């Protein structure tokens, strides 16, 4: 079968967004156990993964480090509380690996099992009707081990923002400066909380991970996630960086994915709730969810947690969070989130605003409360993070997929072709 | 009542060991909540506690930071496993606070409750016959919060060393270089594992925390626990520092408390067990103990955990560890440690070797498997850490006391006078 013109167009557009290296080493060839990262006592110099030289953020070292972020960075605990973990009854299915789908822009089908390697999967958990039907770990990952969730983090705090709005503790129509006066004089001085929550702000900030000069690198360097070069004199905290941001364009006109919006939201959440975002997450969700493990958050030198991407958690617990949303906020014997919050996420936002961002593979989607809303026939919505982190919720198929990865390339456009059709194929399969 | 001559002699000798400032601010005046450390979003500059300027290790900031070490440092998780926490049946007693004792070298009695403030206590848990009879938290501590245990850490790894010896996985009579050839040419080239485990090695290393030039500061700076000054060119890991150590005196002649011995032991444990010390602790003890919470360990830039002082855990879990030892290794329905290991600790080591260290307040004690053995009539033994960390086990009184503190002065000699007689008074009281 030859690719369709539509598929080719998609592929070309995606390639323009994606980094396109000549050849990528395979998942198998970069297995962190086989490569021996951090093995030995101490590991030999060529097997060391470190923060100080930023090697912890270089591929293929990332295949080890994404499962061990706390060994490189200061963190805070997201406490699970003292309760028994909520049940995830096992009903493992052997028929999923052989499932076949055609990646976007390709003509040759791929099996579900092949897609795991294609996406450099580190961990994947599938729930169907609340039962654990599929679970795999690769490299150094284990069921109890926390993995970096990158921008999947954002959906947690977008959800908490919507929760505070529903509870009347946060005014989505207020200017963010009502909560954070420190942002007067920045790009955010005339932005509303809602614009921040839906990322329709106009702010000069590039999220292009393929460009070493993009502001996203300044942002995470300020927070200390990356080491600062000698003589560095820029901001030394996430909030310090936010105060440097200037306006570009207008607010409320278009969706533009910029991590700083989530850190602004995190600052707003701290002021509105009186808690750090990690404490808010623990108290409002994590303790109620019956999470199996504590989660943790990367923190800067001022004690501010990285709301834009600092959450680390297990694949099972990520799936539990998804299952709670699939069930309209009711999980583990209690209404954890108001159903209206989940409804508001699922309803999505303005598709025209979204279309202006030019995601060729995501036609017809929108972005609401820091969630990616597909508006497909199943009403699916997703949390997405660089290098393959994902929580995919398909209400019609009663399916939740939590995935962690360490793909060599950052942008989702690099692995959406081998991910999105796999999600749809699995949903169809489970509904049979 | 006037102090006895013996008591005065003790006091004078202790004062010579202890730092003796003119006036110390009280525990109440340095309560971290009242002082507002790290409050605010972000905290104002004068309320910030940071790693980069080492303020996290300055009093009174330590009253906040000792309960929050992971916010300053990279860490590894000591996993508790998936089981239910072991029961700590509550049988709180109201009669303990009023208990009276006379501090060493003083004539005025002090109440148990007063001793909590005198010792800048952050958390204290007392078990009697396995029941929780007393539990208090101060400042920012909570039952589920991990606190730095400082050198209490050592007793965990001395115990694990003795366990590996009992299991035939480690030869206590072998030279440490059999396990760690990298230590050839250092002070340790002709030291045995047993000499390291009992700290009878002759090595040039000062543990005098009151002396800013003592080698202990170079040691923890190498490991990254303290920030490195600009232009620093010394070792950048714990093991790197160990390789610089030179001999001073002879091995096996006298007890001399030096943290490097425990890091050498940690290195030996890694080689003998094939696990990192944190993994070994998790698998051999933490998962079996029914700990309520994960613990964590401070780690250096090469992934080596700080065996000499990097363990952070809750007071309840520290008490569980003590209770397991009190019960000769049997706890939570299983024999966690061979009874012979506990017997070997309780039996202690050579008292003459110990006496040469000149601890005026600890006459007749010895040091075995990184435990302080009182050899008193109750057969009590203890794990002890700077600034007030302690696990005190009194087998005769069937009593275990776990305490965390943030005393402004480091050495135990500063708070032994208000601690040791309190332990004896409580033991007598509970036996009544």
Query: What is the complex's ipTM, to 2 decimals?
Result: 0.94
Mutate to test the interface with B, among A37, A41, A45, A297 (most CBs of B within 10 A): A41
Facing A74 at nearest CB: one of B70, B293, B294 = B70
pLDDT computed for residue A2 by the predictor: 40
pLDDT computed for residue A201 by the predictor: 98
In sequence order, the 6+-apart residues with CB closer than 8 A to the CB of A307 are A153, A154, A157, A238, A262, A263, A265, A266, A267, A269, A277
Contact between chains at B52 and A76 (C-beta distance less than 8 A): no
Q: What residues of B are in contact with residue A237 (Cβ under 8 Å)?
A: 42
Q: What residues of B are in contact with residue A265 (Cβ under 8 Å)?
A: none
For residue A50, give how far its alpha carbon lies from the nearest alpha carbon of chain B (Å).
Answer: 6
CB atoms within 10 A of CB B340: 14
pLDDT computed for residue B265 by the predictor: 98
What whole-number distance in Å separates Cα of residue B138 and Cα of residue B123? 6
Note whether residue A218 is domain-resident: no
Contact between chains at A70 and B73 (C-beta distance less than 8 A): no
Label the pairing between strands B311-313 and B147-148. antiparallel
Contact between chains at A271 and B41 (C-beta distance less than 8 A): yes
The residue written with tokens 């395979």 in the block is A26
Q: What residues of B are in contact with residue A50 (Cβ under 8 Å)?
A: 301-302
Report the interhelical angle of A339-347 vs A152-166 (nearest 10°): 120
Q: Residue A383's Cα: distance from chain center in Å?
A: 5
Facing A74 at nearest CB: one of B72, B270, B276 = B72
For residue A431, give how far its alpha carbon lies from the nearest alpha carbon of chain B (Å).
Answer: 33
For residue A363, give how far its alpha carbon lies from the nearest alpha carbon of chain B (Å).
Answer: 39
Facing B303 at nearest CB: one of A38, A52, A299 = A38
- Reading the block at residue A298, the tokens are 């990367």
pLDDT computed for residue B5 by the predictor: 41
**Minimal-distance CA residue of chain B relative to A46:** B302
**Minimal-distance CA residue of chain B relative to A76:** B71
Contact between chains at B144 and A79 (C-beta distance less than 8 A): yes
What whole-number distance in Å separates Cα of residue B7 and Cα of residue B104? 6
Strand ranges (E), A20-130: 75-78, 100-101, 110-111, 121-128
Note whether residue B133 is domain-resident: yes
Q: What residues of B are in contact with residue A79 (Cβ under 8 Å)?
A: 144
Contact between chains at B267 and A41 (C-beta distance less than 8 A): yes
Expressed as residue numbers, the domain containing B22 is 5-152+312-431
What is the rounded average pLDDT of the residues B32-47? 97
Share of chain B above pLDDT 70, in %: 95
Buried b (16+ CB within 10 A) or exposed e, A54-65: eebbebbbbbbb
Average pLDDT, chain B: 95
What whole-number distance in Å separates Cα of residue B129 and Cα of residue A31? 50
Q: What are phi and psi of A377, to 5 degrees?
A: -65, -20
Note whether residue A207 is domain-resident: no
B21 band by pLDDT with thresholds 50, 70 and 90: low
DSSP designation for B73: S
What is the rounded average pLDDT of the residues B56-80? 98
What is the rounded average pLDDT of the residues B282-290? 98
B125 has a pLDDT exceeding 50: yes
pLDDT computed for residue B230 by the predictor: 85
pLDDT computed for residue B301 by the predictor: 95
pLDDT computed for residue A338 by the predictor: 98
Facing A294 at nearest CB: one of B74, B294, B299 = B294
Q: What residues of A are in contact with residue B77 (Cβ under 8 Å)?
A: 70, 146
**Minimal-distance CA residue of chain B relative to A85:** B82
In 3D, which of B289, B294, B299 has the Cα closest to residue B324?
A: B289
Decide: residue A301, CB within 10 A, 0-12 exposed, 13-18 middle, 19+ buried.
Answer: buried
For residue B8, give how far its alpha carbon lies from the nearest alpha carbon of chain A (Å).
Answer: 46
Facing B302 at nearest CB: one of A42, A76, A146 = A42
Q: What residues of B are in contact with residue A69 (Cβ under 8 Å)?
A: none
In sequence order, the 6+-apart residues with CB closer than 8 A to the CB of A314 are A123, A143, A144, A145, A146, A147, A292, A293, A295
For residue B72, give how far its alpha carbon lies from the nearest alpha carbon of chain A (Å).
Answer: 5
DSSP designation for A414: G
Contact between chains at A270 and B41 (C-beta distance less than 8 A): yes
Q: What residues of A are in contact with residue B76 (Cβ under 8 Å)?
A: 70-71
Q: What residues of A are in contact with residue B42 (Cβ under 8 Å)?
A: 237, 239, 302-304
Interface of chain B toward chain A, CB-CB under 8 angstroms: 38, 41-43, 48-52, 70-77, 79, 82, 84-85, 144, 146, 237, 239, 267, 270-271, 276, 292-294, 299, 301-304
How many domains, chain A? 1
B128 has a pLDDT exceeding 90: yes
Contact between chains at A76 and B70 (C-beta distance less than 8 A): yes
In 3D, which of A200, A194, A188, A316 has the Cα closest to residue A252?
A: A200
In 3D, which of B311, B312, B284, B314 has the Cα closest to residue B88?
A: B314
Which DSSP helix (H) or strand (E) runs through B415? none
**What is residue A144's three-state secondary structure?**
coil
Note whether residue B349 is domain-resident: yes
Contact between chains at A74 and B79 (C-beta distance less than 8 A): no
Facing B42 at nearest CB: one of A50, A84, A237 = A237
CB atoms within 10 A of CB A183: 21
A:B CB pairs within 8 Å: 83
pLDDT tens for residues B396-417? 999 999 999 999 999 999 999 9
Share of chain B above pLDDT 90, in %: 93
Of B1 and A406, the structure prediction assigns the larger pLDDT to A406
**Minimal-distance CA residue of chain B relative to A42:** B302
**Minimal-distance CA residue of chain A relative to B80:** A293
Note whether residue B92 is domain-resident: yes
pLDDT tens for residues B241-256? 999 999 999 999 999 9
Facing B75 at nearest CB: one of A38, A52, A70 = A70
Q: What residues of B are in contact with residue A72 (Cβ under 8 Å)?
A: 74
Mutate to test the interface with B, among A303, A310, A313, A316 (most CBs of B within 10 A): A303
**Minimal-distance CA residue of chain B relative to A240:** B42
Contact between chains at A74 and B74 (C-beta distance less than 8 A): yes
For residue B306, give how far its alpha carbon lies from the nearest alpha carbon of chain A (Å).
Answer: 12
Decide: residue A299, CB within 10 A, 0-12 exposed, 13-18 middle, 19+ buried.
Answer: buried
Cβ atoms of residues A125 and A402 within 8 Å:
yes
For residue A75, give how far its alpha carbon lies from the nearest alpha carbon of chain B (Å).
Answer: 5
Note whether residue B16 is domain-resident: yes
Report the CATH number at residue A124: 3.40.710.10
Contact between chains at A74 and B71 (C-beta distance less than 8 A): yes
For residue A237, give how far its alpha carbon lies from the nearest alpha carbon of chain B (Å).
Answer: 9
B113 has a pLDDT exceeding 50: yes
**Minimal-distance CA residue of chain A relative to B79:** A144
Facing A299 at nearest CB: one of B43, B71, B304 = B71
Note whether residue A63 is domain-resident: yes
Note whether residue A238 is domain-resident: no
Contact between chains at B70 and A70 (C-beta distance less than 8 A): yes
Q: What is the 3-state secondary structure (H, E, C) of A221-238?
A: HHCCCCCCCCCCCCCCCH
Interface of chain A toward chain B, CB-CB under 8 angstroms: 38, 41-43, 48-52, 70-77, 79, 82, 84-85, 144, 146, 237, 239, 267, 270-271, 276, 292-294, 299, 301-304
pLDDT computed for residue B18 by the predictor: 52
pLDDT < 50: residue spans in chain A:
1-17, 19
For residue A310, give how far its alpha carbon lies from the nearest alpha carbon of chain B (Å).
Answer: 13
B20 has a pLDDT exceeding 80: no
């Amino acid at each position: 079968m030859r690719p369709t013109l539509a598929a080719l167009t998609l592929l070309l557009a995606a390639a323009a967004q994606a980094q396109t290296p000549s050849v990528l080493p395979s998942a198998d060839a970069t297995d962190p156990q086989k490569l021996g990262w951090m093995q030995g006592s101490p590991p030999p110099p060529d097997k060391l993964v470190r923060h100080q030289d930023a090697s912890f953020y270089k591929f293929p070292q990332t295949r080890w480090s994404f499962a061990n972020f706390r060994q490189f960075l200061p963190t805070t605990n997201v406490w699970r509380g003292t309760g028994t973990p909520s049940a995830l009854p096992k009903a493992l299915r052997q028929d999923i690996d052989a499932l076949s789908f055609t990646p976007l822009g390709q003509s040759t089908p791929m099996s579900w099992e092949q897609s795991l390697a294609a996406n450099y999967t580190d961990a994947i958990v599938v729930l169907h009707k609340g039962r654990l039907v599929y679970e795999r770990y690769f490299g150094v990952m284990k069921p109890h081990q926390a993995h970096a969730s990158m921008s999947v983090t954002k959906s947690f705090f977008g959800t908490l923002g919507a929760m505070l709005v529903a509870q009347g503790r946060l005014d989505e129509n207020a200017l963010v400066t009502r909560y954070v006066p420190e942002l007067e004089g920045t790009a955010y001085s005339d932005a509303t909380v809602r614009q921040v929550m839906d990322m329709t702000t106009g702010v000069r900030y590039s999220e292009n991970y393929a460009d070493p000069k993009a502001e996203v690198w300044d942002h995470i360097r300020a927070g200390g996630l990356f080491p600062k070069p000698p003589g560095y004199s820029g901001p030394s905290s996430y909030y310090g960086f936010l105060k440097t941001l200037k306006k570009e364009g207008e607010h409320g006109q278009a969706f533009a994915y910029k991590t700083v919006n989530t850190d602004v939201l995190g600052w707003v959440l701290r002021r509105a709730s009186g808690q750090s975002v990690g404490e808010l997450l623990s108290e409002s969700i994590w303790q109620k969810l019956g999470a199996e493990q504590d989660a943790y958050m990367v923190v800067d030198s001022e004690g501010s947690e990285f709301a834009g991407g600092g959450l680390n958690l297990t694949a099972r617990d990520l799936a539990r969070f998804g299952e709670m949303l699939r069930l309209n906020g009711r999980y583990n014997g209690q209404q954890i989130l108001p159903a209206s919050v989940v409804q508001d996420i699922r309803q999505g936002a303005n598709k025209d605003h979204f279309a202006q961002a030019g995601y060729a593979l995501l036609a017809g989607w929108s972005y609401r409360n820091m969630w990616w809303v597909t508006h497909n026939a199943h009403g699916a919505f997703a949390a997405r993070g660089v290098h393959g982190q994902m929580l995919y919720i398909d209400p019609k198929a009663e399916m939740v997929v939590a995935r962690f990865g360490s793909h060599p390339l950052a942008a989702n456009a690099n692995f959406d072709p081998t991910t999105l059709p796999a999600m749809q194929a699995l949903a169809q399969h489970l509904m049979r």
